[in-house]
Amino acid sequence: MLRAGESAPDFKLFNTEKKEVALQDFTGKNVVILFFPMAFTSVCTAELCEMRDNISTYTGLNADIIGISVDSPFTLAKFKQEQNLPFELLSDFNKEVSAAYDSLYETFVLNLKGVSKRAAFVVDGEGIIQYAEVLDNAGDVPDFSAIQSTLNQLN
The residues annotated as belonging to the active site are 44
What does the chain come to in residues? 155
Could you say which DSSP state residue 127 is in?
S
**Cα-based distances in Å from 136 to 38, 104, 125:** 15, 9, 28
**What are the residues whose beta carbons fall under 8 Å from the beta carbon of 23, sequence distance 6 or more?**
8, 9, 10, 11, 12, 31, 123, 127
